[in-house]
Amino acid sequence: MLAIPAIDLRDGHCVQLVGGDYSKEAVRLDEPLRVAQRWVAAGFSRLHLVDLDAATGRGNNRDLLREIITRAGVPAQVGGGVRTEDAIDTLVDDGADRIVVGTRGVEEPEWLAEQALRAPGRIVLAADVKGRTVVTRGWAKESSREILELLRELQDLPLAGLLVTAVQKEGKMQGTDLALMADVVDASPWPVIASGGVGSMQDLRSLEDRGVAAVVLGMALYTDALDARIVAEEFAE
């Protein structure tokens, strides 16, 4: 299993939110590029970049994303407000290795199919989940579908992976939603990337035991609850 540090961008800063709540910002760091370089120096081989402003219609951090993608020195998967073909093409042109598509991909499966066929093996679908219900638009809107239903609808698409975030666990470091992740792994035809709630090495090992291919790490790294170098060494692939 591969561990991937998250770099969530808001107002030009690197931040961490608690429980997906924009009013509960627990971490705010200047110079996100330096943060990215710190994780690379610790031994991580991939980064997960999210433009929170673009995801919520508050603007964007496009220039900063481009700088991190270009200068960090490792592949990056990039998401947040990616809702047009042009946005996907821009990120590809900027050097993003994989493009993470959330809201529009969930709300418009036909559009997601078009993009997956245009760029096979490059699109990661982000499914943010509260309980078992998929939410969109920066975790603000509940869809009418549960996660396993969504997977059944999309199972034939040539996606690079499925990123599942347990929103109610996000940023709390109180353990992951293992039952959710196990069910998703069983149902998904694509590698599953887990996010939300990791606070210990045992959480990581439990996810690996359930067949998760990768995990995105945020708060636990930023608060030093996890030792970055130890995580990068044990969860390198």
Q: Is residue 128 flagged as an active site residue?
A: yes
Out of 51, 53, 128, 203, pick the active-site residue: 128
CA angle 193, 46, 139 (to 5 degrees): 45
To the query of whether residue 8 is one of the catalytic residues in this protein, the response is yes
CB 112 within 8 A of CB 142: no
Catalytic residue among 8, 51, 53, 177: 8
Q: Which residues are catalytic?
A: 8, 128
